[in-house]
Structure 1
Amino acid sequence: MMFAVAAQSRVDDEVPLPGFAPELRFVVAAARLASGGAAGPTLDRAGAQVRNWDIVHRGLAHHGLVGLAVPGLLRTRAVPAAMAALLTSEHGAHVVGVMHRMRELVRIARALDAAGIRHLFIKGIALSVQLHADPLARGGRDIDVMIERSRLRDAEQILRDLDYELPIHATPADPDVTEPAKESGWVHRESRILVELHDRLCDNHALLPWDFATLWAERETVTIGGMAVPTMARRRLPVYLAVHGIRHGWQRMLWLVDLAAVLDTSKTWDDALDDAAAQGLDGMMLHVGWALHHWLGRPVPAEILARGRRRVDVRLLNWLVARFQDGPDWYETLPRSSVRRFIAGSVWSRAITYMMKPSGGFWRRQLAFDLSSPQDRAAFALPDRLNWLYPLIRPFGWAIRRLR
């Protein structure tokens, strides 16, 4: 399919967040500015309505926009002097944090190369260089590296040798489990930098079944700290970033800014929709068009917006993701034991996951995954004849993990 550049839609000036706090409106306007959208009038109106600039500051950090949005905000003079000084300090700390993670990424990459372990750095600093041509633009909060499954244990040993360890509350890996958790998180003993080793892109491989061999064959390289490191091909990014961001309800507006950077031509939209349709995720990509157009003010082909308006699943996704931005504490990460966090993670997030890929085969596998957690199997070892009990154990396992 082809969408002509001339068919780009008119950009709405208003951000459709009815009933949302003015501080959140300002953060969305800042994300619009970071993505290259026409943010001037929207930013000024949102700033005039802000009642608490401390919440704006926390909201920018919560949505991962310190690297991307703060330099532009300081140039616009859209924030009070005291807030500008605070953001300048915050951005300085962000730069220092990214530099520390860059050093660790290079150290890990060299160790993996020396051991002959094929790997891809995804998200974080690698994506910042790939999409924004600047390692400091986003940085991320951790280092994500995808490893070929056959060498996963070797990679874990390398992290141990580099002074990383599993957090004390982590579930030990079980080599006998056919579908282990998709990643394990490792924390450096001194710096507390988090590294996540992935062996696939999603917990449920049926959601996005691109395997490591395919991604490795198509890999690109980016230069970080003077070293060329492998990362996911740009062609693959729109669908992957959409899956990651939507499943979390765009809890970090940063992910949407990334999509704005990669979906920048009619051809990239054509390719993204073709790739998404091949996986049964075309409704998900139509939702991305809605979010980029209405939230970030990006020009999106009019046909994409029209197709989204005609589909019930897209309209439902539009409604569901807004649930993550609602409420008085939208700018905070809620405690693990929080009821609102449970509703967001176990109700809204799951509803989004099922709406992203409305196919019977995927739903059956996802339901089986939801009813039988690998963490429960690790915590409660039952003989094979009692496997049917795991769905009954699920609520107790969830409570234990959050109350420990």
Structure 2
Amino acid sequence: MRILLHDYGAYGFIVQLARWLAEQGHMVLHLRSGDLVGPQGATQRRHDDPPGLRFDTLSIGRPFARYALHRRVPDEIRYGHRMGRVIADWRPDIILSANTPPFAQAVAMRAARRHGVPFVNWVQDIFSEGAGAIVARLPRPIGALALALLHHIEYGTMRAADGVIVISPEFRDLLRRNKVNHPDLLLQENWASPAPAIPAGTDWAAAQGLAGCSLLLAAGTLGLKHDPGLLAELALAVGDDPAVRVVVVSQGPGRDYLSAWAAGRDAPLVLLDYQPAADVYSMLASAQIGLVLLTAAAGGMSVPSKVYTYAAAGLPILAAIPPGNHAARLIQEQGLGLVVAPDDPAGFIAAAKRLLADADLRRQCADAGRAFSARHGDMTVIGGRFQRLLTEIVVAHPRAGGRLPGLPPGPESDYLCALALNPQAPAHGGRQAVDPDTLLTLARAQGMLPLLGQALIMRGGKPDERLRAEQIQQIQRILALGAALLEILAALEAHSIKALALKGPALTLLLRQDIALRPCLDIDLLIDPGQAMAAATILTEHGFVPTLDIAIDKLVMVSKDCLYRRGNIAVELHWRLFDNSQLLGWTFEDLWQARAIVSLNGQAVPTLSARHYGVYLAVHGIRHGWQRLRWLVDMGLLLADPAQRSAIREQAALDGFEPALIHTALLARDLLGTVLPEETGWQENWRVRAINRGVEMLSTLLARQPSGRGGWIRRRLTEKWLDLLLCNSLKAVAMEIRMLMVGTGEITDIELPRSLFWLYPLARPFLLARRIWRRAWGQRAS
């Protein structure tokens, strides 16, 4: 699956989940806010990170105004739109969004709905339950309305989500009281896995000038749901011991309050900015006690995740939090430290002195924390829960057709995509079970059977009998098509007719040098339009019968080709590459001069050059909604070579098809792992995004296969929209509109001389009505 994991605050445990999911073979984009000032996990790629993992940031261009109401809501909405743009560009199979402000979450989820992507809301905080302190600054009627709106937006987003994850039983109960009764609700507490080796911590303490001191550490956000005054009172109370320091690692209003309080006082209070992620465990190992704060008003809307971090580091916890909070019960039940009420500063100070004086108690708390984290932070168990939930939601979602028609998200699709460009490479999702029957069905539908068989052999496996039988059948057909291709080319050459073999065996040989690795359904030949009638006559003389009884000189006006059959061999005779004669400015002579030569049974077969194939296949795939993974694999192979990629891009820019090529290249990168250079030119613009949206709509329609006339009309309208998006000139647009008015059906119904072709658009409504009536009458008669 392609998983967009939006982690607004860049929590360490969510970063760990992103890595675990990528290790299972999923493609994971971990997205975080670049404007939020706060503690963050290690969001840089490591040398051992799986190839499917990517980290990125979202920014609105200024720091997030967390405490300024007049700026916060517009900033959230702007951020949500930025996230929607990423959804449109990256086109994930599912979105998991954690700790995102309500308005940003709502806007992002609407974008997911537009693109047919399931959305899972991972609830880390319930903002509307703790927003009273902010809206209290407003006049009472306005504040009440603002709070009601926030409540409606936040809980409405949870109700509309495709799945919800909560971090405590209290959150689950609160959601149910607010009518969030979601069938796909997962209760998963936060976690922190023990570090492989806890550093001694003396280096960090010495670097801060704190060597030899006993440290009471408060690390993390100090906002409106925390009371920094408790830390100030604690610093005064322990001031009689010169070896004790209260260390606050934070930024924001709580830190500013302490800075103002400490000015002019000789208190053992050390204020530091947030530390780099690489130094966090060393910082924790330097401390003797970890401090956790939460006001009584915030007790029902938050569970401090630093409790899990402290426990994993073996740091005894002193918490001034409401006794009903989930974290308070966790600390007490697991023996992780001491808990006092947030409005009891005397109890807070007494508990701190008790922990400082009792080394055995601290050791017991530290051992209990490590043991709890070892049990509670098993990523195999936690990751498995997330993976099962996400998979179930994706499979059940109406858009289960995936990003290509008939290519549903799952281990079988991941397996096919992984072997597409390199059959010897290990497949993505090696830890996920691949169902052989599903894999065979999918490979057959996507034109990947020969490649699947080769990959199994190269990886030391053995194709089963069904796969071997189908492989043999396909190879026999490919060889028969190859023999017929050589026969036809020889006959055309004998009459001095130049012909280029399109796609099929010629393309397979150009890309892989092995004709058996790509299934072929028919033979495609491109000839000079001026020699179309002569070529048609030669095909007829060799036993090929046209499927349309229309004179070639008239068919040329509305169509790019004519289909001929001889037994089970089909030949499409092309006189241009697309029906729209104004779409590509290539003449046959241009293509012939740039042609590539491949060898088939020792005979030279002319075909398109790689640079022309790259443009042609990109446009062809888009126009048909990438119905076959095989088509995208062809493009992936062409773009894999840097020299070919540059030539194709140069040709696309020359012909005005760069947006189509960028769409195709990014799709190949995302699905197949095609490596693209880090160039700004490969990024998306509005035309690329419009093509993405059109292809996505067409893919969804093709995957669902809507029945009836309404489904056919929606599909045709989407196809025509894509055709118009691809047009690179006004002439091409005009021709596309003209083609809406005249088709092969009209020419088949009545034959008019070329001088009266202008009558076809006028007659089309009547001819179309007659065809529909005849079809309906025929069904009734049968």
TM-score range, shorter chain: 0.7 to 0.9
1:314 is aligned to 2:684: no
Q: Which amino acid aligns with 1:389?
A: L
Of 640, 650, 673, the residue aligned with 1:264 is 640
Matched position secondary structure for 1:175: helix
Of 601, 605, 627, the residue aligned with 1:251 is 627
**CA, structure 1 residues 232+363, in 2 after alignment: closer, same or farther (shift >3 Å)?**
same
1:150 is aligned to 2:150: no
Matched position secondary structure for 2:562: strand
Matched position secondary structure for 2:515: coil
CA positional deviation for 1:225:
2.1
Say which structure, 1 or 2, has more relative contact order (CA 8 Å, 6+ apart): 1
Residues 11-50 of structure 1 correspond to what in structure 2 (within 5 A)? Answer: 12=52, 16-18=92-94, 19=394, 20=400, 24-25=408-409, 26-27=412-413, 29-36=415-422, 40=426, 42-44=428-430, 48=433
CA positional deviation for 1:303:
2.4
1:302 and 1:394 mapped to 2: Cα distance? 53
Of 740, 757, 764, the residue aligned with 1:370 is 740
1:77 and 1:320 mapped to 2: Cα distance? 41
Q: Which amino acid aligns with 2:498?
A: R
1:306 and 1:151 mapped to 2: Cα distance? 40
Q: Which residue of the partner structure matches residue 717 of structure 2? A: 347
Of 206, 223, 232, the residue aligned with 2:599 is 223
Q: Which amino acid aligns with 1:16?
A: P
User: Which is greater in Rg?
Assistant: 2
**CA, structure 1 residues 298+163, in 2 after alignment: closer, same or farther (shift >3 Å)?**
same
1:154 and 1:318 mapped to 2: Cα distance? 41
Where structure 2 has 5 or more consecutive residues not aligned to the other structure, the ranges are 1-49, 55-90, 95-393, 395-399
CA positional deviation for 1:359:
4.4
**CA, structure 1 residues 398+122, in 2 after alignment: closer, same or farther (shift >3 Å)?**
farther
Residues 51-90 of structure 1 correspond to what in structure 2 (within 5 A)? Answer: 54-73=437-456, 75-76=458-459, 84-90=464-470
2:774 and 2:681 mapped to 1: Cα distance? 41
Aligned-pair Cα RMSD in Å: 3.3
CA positional deviation for 1:179:
1.7
Q: Which residue of the partner structure matches residue 93 of structure 1? A: 473
8 A contact 1:206–1:365 mirrored in 2:
yes
Name the structure with the higher helix share: 1
State the TM-score, normalized to the length of structure 1: 0.82
Matched position secondary structure for 1:287: helix
1:292 is aligned to 2:658: no
Deviations 1:120-171 (A, max 9, x none): 101000000011111111142100011112222221122122211123xx24
Matched position secondary structure for 2:422: coil
2:512 and 2:771 mapped to 1: Cα distance? 38
Q: How many residues align?
A: 379
1:401 and 1:193 mapped to 2: Cα distance? 31
Q: Which amino acid aligns with 1:103?
A: A
CA positional deviation for 1:217:
1.4
Where structure 1 has 5 or more consecutive residues not aligned to the other structure, the ranges are 1-9
Q: Which residue of the partner structure matches residue 161 of structure 1? A: 541
2:481 and 2:421 mapped to 1: Cα distance? 24
1:389 is aligned to 2:762: yes
1:144 and 1:166 mapped to 2: Cα distance? 14
1:36 and 1:399 mapped to 2: Cα distance? 48
**CA, structure 1 residues 337+149, in 2 after alignment: closer, same or farther (shift >3 Å)?**
farther
Matched position secondary structure for 1:57: helix
1:149 and 1:336 mapped to 2: Cα distance? 38
State the TM-score, normalized to the length of structure 2: 0.44
**CA, structure 1 residues 222+293, in 2 after alignment: closer, same or farther (shift >3 Å)?**
same
Matched position secondary structure for 2:525: strand
CA positional deviation for 1:216:
1.0
Matched position secondary structure for 2:517: coil
1:303 and 1:402 mapped to 2: Cα distance? 54
Matched position secondary structure for 1:141: coil
2:766 and 2:51 mapped to 1: Cα distance? 50
Q: Which residue of the partner structure matches residue 553 of structure 2? A: 175
8 A contact 2:419–2:427 mirrored in 1:
no
Matched position secondary structure for 1:295: helix
Name the structure with the higher strand share: 2
1:12 and 1:196 mapped to 2: Cα distance? 40
